[in-house]
């Protein structure tokens, strides 16, 4: 398959030419007991975050205030002694949204056996801090790519018809100018930069295909220009730059097998069938295929329907947009490797710390992590670290991201920011969810719509 080019070369070249503790209404978070914050001469007075839905604290298909105060930037800010309020105010301000979530209600578990996940019966929330008359300290935008940090082309229609005045970009950007310009207007002394996942997730989640072959090259141009711009305007600012995880290892791509049992020969397997033929080893079935598989789509005539045995097969193949073929997985990982080489390069500068998100999530995908006697994994629902959209962490997962950032900043700049106690962020969507017996979703209603908005593919 061929991916639509998401970033215009001309715009990128033009850009390079241009760029050479808790007070008020809040969620209480307990920090780990131990030594207190020590800056060791490092200016930690003003923290600003720019990035994607990960920075925004997006979970289960939307943003909502009681999860936004558990985003990794919120946790990091609190460890610096900043106030983080559920209404979006305080020392670290955010574009918060009320329950049941924005721009659409969050997904929730409606039934455990069978497992049914839906947002049915929930109503959208609304922005709660949109009247703030200065830039937010957390400028994480769901759906953003690195290009959006420094160019406004895709901020509003008609360039990006998916986005409108009620979508994520306007919740944060509010027609106040470039994201980077707004971030620098707060004169941050330390700033996190988290981009790259959406460049590869867009094509993979929406079309079942690899990103454009020039993605890493565009990313290199834009990241270098953005880092240069920050250092030119604010030479004393420290940066914490996140690298890009292997998105093909998250639950969205690993929950469903591409093979199922042979009805006649127990113990042998037959491949699911896509529009381009039977699946092969290394092919990945997307989480959004759940409802199709449950009615027999993609199940071969001699195969067991592992989501709904009584439905069997209906003889129709899975659309290719619901399959990431092995060659496309390889091509996706190649672009991620290229983007991470860029992060390694900029991290050689003395004012940049690399936050190794790729290793963190890679280790979780391979080995899981044990916290307080509980073993957590990247399994969908039962693993306890990812939210119900299969893409974004839950509160506990974001706490681990915050600690990774804390460790990177401490190690690079010689300060001491205390880690948080991850157990303070465990919830019923984490270890307690292990009571689920039948963990194969028969329904994930509304997930395709959520991801279609979040990971819009742009020209």
pLDDT tens-digit map of 43-62: 999 999 999 999 999 999 99
User: What is the secondary structure of 226-294 as a DSSP string?
Assistant: HHHHHHHH-TT-EEEEE----GGGSHHHHSB-SEEEBSSSTT-EEE-EETTEE--TT-EE-GGGHHHHH
Domain boundary among 324, 347, 377: 324
pLDDT band at 27 (very low <50, low <70, confident <90, very high): very low
Q: Are residues 226 and 295 in the same domain?
A: no
Neighbour count for residue 30 (Cβ, 10 Å): 10
Predicted confidence at residue 118, as pLDDT, reads 94
Using the predicted structure, report yes or no on whether residue 26 has a pLDDT greater than 60.
no
- For the chain, what's the residue count? 459
Q: Are residues 127 and 274 in the same domain?
A: no
Q: Tell whether 331 is covered by a domain.
A: no
pLDDT band at 444 (very low <50, low <70, confident <90, very high): very high
Q: Are residues 280 and 230 in the same domain?
A: no
Bridge-partner residues for 31, per DSSP? 420
The number of angstroms, rounded, from the C-alpha of 263 to the middle of its chain's C-alpha atoms is 38
Determine the Cα–Cα distance for residues 343 and 330; give it in Å rounded to an integer: 20
Q: Are residues 375 and 241 in the same domain?
A: yes
51 within 8 A of 195, measured Cβ to Cβ: yes
Eight-class DSSP state of 400:
H
Domain boundary among 290, 324, 358: 324
Residue 355: in which H helix or E strand, if any?
strand 352-355
pLDDT above 90 coverage of the chain, percent: 78
Q: Tell whether 1 is covered by a domain.
A: no
Using the predicted structure, report yes or no on whether residue 239 has a pLDDT greater than 90.
yes
SS3 of residue 78 by DSSP: helix
Q: Tell whether 397 is covered by a domain.
A: yes
Determine the Cα–Cα distance for residues 167 and 104; give it in Å rounded to an integer: 9
Predicted confidence at residue 163, as pLDDT, reads 54
Q: Tell whether 332 is covered by a domain.
A: no
Provide the number of structural domains found in the chain.
2
Q: For residue 97, give Cα distances in angstroms to 121, 387, 442.
A: 18, 18, 30
Q: Are residues 171 and 297 in the same domain?
A: no
pLDDT band at 442 (very low <50, low <70, confident <90, very high): confident
25 vs 408, more confident? 408
- State the Cα torsion 71-74-75-81 to the nearest 10°: 180
Determine the Cα–Cα distance for residues 141 and 190; give it in Å rounded to an integer: 19
Residue 354: in which H helix or E strand, if any?
strand 352-355
Determine the Cα–Cα distance for residues 361 and 196; give it in Å rounded to an integer: 15
Q: Tell whether 85 is covered by a domain.
A: yes
278 within 8 A of 290, measured Cβ to Cβ: no
Predicted confidence at residue 7, as pLDDT, reads 35
394 within 8 A of 400, measured Cβ to Cβ: no
pLDDT tens-digit map of 57-111: 999 999 999 999 999 999 999 999 999 999 999 999 999 999 999 999 999 999 8
pLDDT tens-digit map of 128-170: 999 999 999 999 999 999 999 999 998 887 776 655 545 778 8
Q: Tell whether 36 is covered by a domain.
A: yes
SS3 of residue 417 by DSSP: coil
Bridge-partner residues for 377, per DSSP? 384
Q: Tell whether 50 is covered by a domain.
A: yes
Q: Are residues 15 and 145 in the same domain?
A: yes
Q: Are residues 204 and 289 in the same domain?
A: no
Q: Are residues 148 and 225 in the same domain?
A: yes
Burial 103-130 (b: 16+ CB within 10 A, else e): bbbbbbbeeeeebbbbbeebebbebbbe
Which residues have CB under 8 Å from 209's CB, separation 6+? Answer: 1, 2, 3, 203, 321, 324, 328
Q: Are residues 29 and 120 in the same domain?
A: yes
pLDDT tens-digit map of 179-237: 999 999 999 999 999 999 999 999 999 999 999 999 999 999 999 999 999 999 999 99
Predicted confidence at residue 126, as pLDDT, reads 94
pLDDT above 70 coverage of the chain, percent: 87
Q: Are residues 378 and 420 in the same domain?
A: yes
SS3 of residue 457 by DSSP: coil
pLDDT band at 438 (very low <50, low <70, confident <90, very high): low
Domain boundary among 282, 301, 324: 324
Q: Are residues 146 and 216 in the same domain?
A: yes
What is the domain range of residue 194?
A: 9-246+337-454
Question: CATH number, domain at 46?
Answer: 3.40.50.1110
Q: Are residues 177 and 300 in the same domain?
A: no
Determine the Cα–Cα distance for residues 43 and 237; give it in Å rounded to an integer: 8
Bridge-partner residues for 376, per DSSP? 369
> Is pTM, for the whole model, over 0.85?
yes
Using the predicted structure, report yes or no on whether residue 434 has a pLDDT greater than 60.
no
């Amino acid at each position: 398959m061929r991916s639509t080019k998401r970033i215009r070369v001309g715009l990128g070249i033009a850009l390079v030419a241009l760029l050479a503790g808790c007070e008020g209404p809040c969620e209480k978070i307990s920090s780990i007991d131990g030594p207190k914050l020590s800056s060791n001469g490092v200016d930690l007075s003003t923290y600003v975050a720019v990035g994607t839905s990960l920075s925004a604290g997006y979970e289960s298909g939307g943003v909502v205030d009681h999860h936004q105060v558990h985003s990794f930037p919120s946790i990091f800010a609190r460890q610096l002694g900043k106030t983080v309020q559920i209404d979006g105010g305080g020392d670290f301000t955010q574009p918060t949204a009320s329950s049941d979530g924005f721009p659409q209600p969050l997904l929730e578990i409606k039934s455990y056996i069978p497992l049914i996940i839906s947002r049915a019966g929930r109503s959208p929330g609304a922005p709660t801090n949109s009247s703030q008359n200065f830039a937010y300290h957390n400028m994480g935008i769901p759906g953003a790519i690195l290009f959006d940090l420094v160019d406004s082309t895709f901020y509003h229609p008609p360039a990006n018809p998916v986005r409108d005045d009620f979508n994520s970009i306007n919740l944060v950007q509010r027609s106040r100018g470039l994201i980077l310009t707004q971030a620098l207007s707060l004169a941050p002394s330390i700033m996190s930069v988290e981009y790259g996942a959406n460049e590869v997730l867009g094509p993979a989640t929406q079309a079942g295909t690899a990103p454009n072959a020039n993605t890493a090259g565009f990313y290199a141009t834009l990241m270098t220009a953005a880092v240069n711009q920050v250092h030119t305007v604010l030479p004393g600012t420290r940066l914490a730059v996140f690298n890009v995880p292997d998105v093909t290892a998250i639950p969205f791509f690993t929950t469903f097998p591409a093979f199922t049992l042979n009805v006649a020969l127990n113990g042998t397997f037959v491949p699911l069938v896509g529009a381009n033929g039977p699946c092969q080893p290394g092919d990945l079935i997307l989480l959004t295929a759940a409802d199709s598989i449950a009615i027999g789509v993609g199940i071969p005539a001699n195969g067991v329907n592992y989501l709904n045995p009584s439905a069997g097969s209906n003889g129709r193949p899975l659309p290719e947009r619901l399959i990431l073929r092995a060659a496309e997985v390889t091509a996706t990982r190649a672009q991620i490797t290229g983007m991470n080489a860029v992060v390694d390069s900029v991290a050689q500068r003395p004012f940049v710390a690399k936050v190794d998100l790729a290793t963190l999530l890679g280790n979780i995908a391979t080995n899981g992590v044990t916290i307080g006697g509980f073993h957590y994994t990247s399994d969908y629902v039962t693993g306890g670290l990812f939210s119900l959209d299969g893409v974004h962490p839950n509160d506990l997962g974001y706490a681990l991201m915050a600690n990774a950032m804390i460790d990177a900043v401490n190690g690079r700049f010689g300060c001491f920011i205390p880690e948080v106690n991850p157990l303070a962020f465990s919830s019923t969507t984490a270890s307690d969810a292990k009571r689920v017996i039948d963990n194969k979703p028969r329904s994930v209603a509304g997930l395709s719509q959520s991801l279609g908005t979040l990971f819009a593919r742009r020209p």
